[in-house]
Amino acid sequence: MIGSGPLAGIGVIVTRPARQAAGLASQLATLGATPIVFPAIAILPPTDDAPLKRAHASLASYDAAVFVSANAAEYGAPGQWPRNVVAYATGPGTAGALRAVRVPDVSIPQTTYDSEGLLALPALADLRGKRIAIFRGEGGRDHLADALRARGAHVDCIDCYRRMRPASGADGLAEALLAGRAHALTITSSEGLDNLLALLDERALLVLRTIPTFVPHSRIEEHARANGLRAVRTESGDAGLLAGLLEWFKR
């Protein structure tokens, strides 16, 4: 029996990592949708946690710490936060993850929820003599670190988690696509999209390319279109994805 709500009868694929997938799935269910949860990226502790432990021990010597994702917050935040260190997050989801582990007064961008939005903050304009720690996943982009160094900061990048392609588990998702139970895809990283495309067989991929793919950033939009998906750009965060879904299926 189909439930009620503005997204009633709509199956939405949720590809966020497992820890973040639950929140979006719950909001989708409240709107009547049927969440189809398939974490396209497995999040694991770093291969070597010694640098992270050293960063925690010396964190009070920094002026600021930047967390680039909710995973960075969950895996990288210390047990106790030094009062003198200013915390920055790339968006409200990451800020919420930091608040959940008792990191106070988290600053987020006012324009776009990404590295570029952080760099637009007036407090990060002149960083001469400042020490900044960036908590990120292994193999993360260097764009933010390079930009902060160009503004005079001494920057240390701390790998606090690693991303892996799921080894299995796509059979259920393929079945949902082939049975017509999946009507929309949400993707929040290009890496997650690549993993998804690698795990699905050709029949499932043909169906995937017929449904709208909701993405929160222009880079992911371009990547999705390059892979033949019907990308629909939304605002950042879960709220943006939900608004995009509501607008699309209202038609």
Q: What is the CATH number of the domain that holds 88?
A: 3.40.50.10090
Check residue 2 and give its pLDDT: 56
Which of 143, 163, 183 finishes a domain?
Answer: 163
Region 107-136: mean pLDDT is 95
Per residue in 91-107, pLDDT tens? 988 999 999 999 999 99
Range of the structural domain that residue 115 is part of: 44-163
Check residue 3 and give its pLDDT: 62
Q: Are residues 151 and 177 in the same domain?
A: no
Q: Is the pLDDT of residue 140 over 90?
A: no
Q: Are residues 19 and 111 in the same domain?
A: no
Check residue 24 and give its pLDDT: 93
Helix/strand/coil percentages in the chain, nearest 5: 40, 20, 40
Check residue 141 and give its pLDDT: 81
Q: Are residues 28 and 59 in the same domain?
A: no
Which of 140, 163, 186 finishes a domain?
Answer: 163
pTM of structure: 0.80
Query: Are residues 131 and 61 in contact, defined by beta-carbon separation less than 8 angstroms?
Result: yes
Q: Are residues 139 and 178 in the same domain?
A: no
Check residue 20 and give its pLDDT: 84
Does residue 213 belong to any structural domain of this protein?
Answer: yes
Does residue 90 belong to any structural domain of this protein?
Answer: yes
Output the six-digit token pair for 9: 């009868």
Check residue 139 and give its pLDDT: 84
Q: Are residues 54 and 83 in the same domain?
A: yes
Region 221-227: mean pLDDT is 97
Q: Are residues 84 and 193 in the same domain?
A: no
Q: Are residues 184 and 207 in the same domain?
A: yes
Number of domains in the chain: 2
Does residue 138 belong to any structural domain of this protein?
Answer: yes
Check residue 1 and give its pLDDT: 46
Burial class (CB in 10 A: 0-12, 13-18, 19+), 128: exposed
Per residue in 23-71, pLDDT tens? 899 999 999 999 999 999 999 999 999 999 999 999 999 999 999 999 9
Per residue in 164-218, pLDDT tens? 999 877 899 999 999 999 999 999 999 999 999 999 999 999 999 999 999 998 9
Check residue 160 and give its pLDDT: 96
Q: Are residues 48 and 131 in the same domain?
A: yes
Q: Are residues 222 and 205 in the same domain?
A: yes
**What is the C-alpha to C-alpha distance for residues 36 and 78, in angstroms, rounded to an integer?**
33
Q: Are residues 69 and 85 in the same domain?
A: yes
Q: Are residues 67 and 15 in the same domain?
A: no
C-alpha neighbours within 13 Å on the C-beta side of residue 195: 22
Which of 144, 163, 182 finishes a domain?
Answer: 163
Region 120-125: mean pLDDT is 96
Per residue in 74-92, pLDDT tens? 999 999 999 999 999 999 8
**What is the C-alpha to C-alpha distance for residues 108 and 105, in angstroms, rounded to an integer?**
10
Check residue 19 and give its pLDDT: 82
Does residue 72 belong to any structural domain of this protein?
Answer: yes
